[in-house]
């Protein structure tokens, strides 16, 4: 099948606000060193960072519920009108090593308002202080709890970057275990190969104002631990065709100045070839997790598509 069955370019050039937002991002101090060794040293020496608290004003915008999954905090935002007919289980990004950050909160709030769904964010433990398996345990426990309140088909798994990976990995674990599946996957620039094996990402790297190949490889190695980082359990890009064929309808959203666009395209083609329902939406000149820059034309278009997808 042709790529246009699976991949759609939503914009031919970045909006003025997107260009401005990208420039502002490029002027921010980098969180991580650029080298593999530098990131490994940073992770070894750092103090474990806390999750950014939910803005107090959200208590006026939403009905907020606090609970725990496998001993870790979860926070659910319900529309003021009451519990949503659909529920989004959202995993925040951060390379598996960073907590819930300030920009995540406006994004998840916008998703609730766009979809009228309830939305849960698990505050999962971070690598390398914790492990991949512990993160999976929290994700699985959050899923199990929500399926006692919503039909699995009414739950949408979602997330950005490493969180998009976690959402997809949860669905694949359900397939391997013969469990109930979510109704849909809505993934924002998911990190699909933690080894960054495709050298085509290097061609995008000069345009990416956030991600660096060597830093990502170091974070991926720290997160995978003794497990095979390039295997399908750690890198869902390589999931078996028969598993891909069982995934629910999937939509992905990525900027063309995001290194993950390379693996996102590969995954969309693989999923489509396996018979899955998939659409990858690309945005010209947009950086990593561009949808968090809410006032841009691109973010508004992305969230509108998510709203249509979730409520359909």
**Residues in contact with 28: Cβ distance below 8 Å, sequence separation at least 6, in sequence order:** none
Q: What is the pLDDT of residues 166-220, one digit of tens each?
A: 999 999 999 999 999 999 999 999 999 999 999 999 999 999 999 999 999 999 9
- Residue 299, Cβ density class (10 Å: 0-12 exposed, 13-18 middle, ≥19 buried): buried
Q: Residue 33: is its pLDDT beyond 90?
A: no
Give φ, ψ of 138 to 5 degrees. Answer: -65, -45
23-37, 49-63, 78-92, 182-196: the lowest-pLDDT one: 23-37
Report the alpha-carbon distance of residue 22 to residue 39 in Å, rounded.
Answer: 23
Average pLDDT, the chain: 96
pTM for the model: 0.97
* Cβ(105)–Cβ(113) below 8 Å: no
Report the alpha-carbon distance of residue 181 to residue 77 in Å, rounded.
Answer: 22
Neighbours of 228 (CB within 10 A): 11
Average pLDDT over residues 214-228: 95
pLDDT band at 45 (very low <50, low <70, confident <90, very high): very high
Average pLDDT over residues 270-286: 98
pLDDT band at 241 (very low <50, low <70, confident <90, very high): very high
**Residues in contact with 44: Cβ distance below 8 Å, sequence separation at least 6, in sequence order:** 128
Neighbours of 72 (CB within 10 A): 18
Strand (E) or helix (H) holding 269: helix 261-273
The token pair that represents 39 in the structure block: 């990131």
The dotted CATH code for 3-311 is: 3.40.50.1820
User: What is the reported pLDDT for 31?
Assistant: 84
Q: What residue spans define the domains of the chain?
A: 3-311
Residue found by looking up tokens 């519920």 in the block: 65
Top pLDDT among 176 and 32 is at 176
Q: What is the pLDDT of residues 89-127, one digit of tens each?
A: 999 999 999 999 999 999 999 999 999 999 999 999 999
* Cβ(283)–Cβ(255) below 8 Å: yes
Q: What is the pLDDT of residues 122-152, one digit of tens each?
A: 999 999 999 999 999 999 999 999 999 999 9
Q: Residue 1: is its pLDDT beyond 70?
A: no
């Amino acid at each position: 099948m042709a790529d246009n069955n699976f991949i759609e370019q939503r914009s031919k050039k970045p909006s003025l606000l997107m260009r401005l937002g990208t420039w502002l991002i490029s002027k921010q101090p980098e969180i991580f060193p650029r080298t593999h060794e530098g990131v490994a040293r940073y992770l070894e020496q750092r103090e474990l960072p806390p999750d950014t608290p939910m803005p107090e004003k959200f208590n006026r915008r939403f009905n907020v519920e606090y609970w725990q999954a496998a001993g870790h905090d979860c926070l659910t935002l319900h529309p003021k009108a009451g519990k949503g007919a659909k529920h989004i289980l959202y995993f925040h990004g951060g390379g598996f090593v960073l907590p819930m950050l300030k920009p995540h909160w406006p994004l998840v709030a916008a998703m609730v308002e766009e979809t009228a769904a309830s939305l849960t964010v698990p505050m999962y433990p971070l690598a390398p202080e914790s492990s991949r398996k512990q993160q999976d345990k929290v994700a699985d426990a959050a899923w199990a709890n929500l399926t006692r309140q919503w039909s699995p088909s009414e739950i949408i798994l979602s997330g950005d970057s490493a969180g998009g990976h976690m959402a997809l990995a949860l669905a694949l674990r359900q397939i391997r275990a013969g469990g109930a599946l979510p109704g849909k996957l809505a993934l924002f620039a998911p990190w699909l190969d933690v080894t960054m094996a495709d050298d085509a990402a290097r061609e995008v790297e000069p345009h990416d104002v956030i991600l660096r190949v060597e830093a990502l490889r170091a974070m991926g190695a720290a997160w995978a631990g003794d497990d095979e980082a390039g295997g399908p359990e750690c890198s869902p890009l390589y999931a078996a065709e028969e598993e891909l064929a069982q995934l629910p309808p999937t939509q992905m959203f990525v900027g063309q100045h995001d290194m993950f666009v390379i693996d996102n395209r590969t995954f969309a083609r693989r999923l489509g070839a396996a018979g899955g329902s998939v659409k990858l939406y690309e945005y010209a000149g947009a950086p990593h997790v561009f949808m968090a820059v809410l006032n841009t034309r691109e973010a508004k278009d992305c969230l509108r598509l998510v709203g249509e997808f979730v409520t359909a």
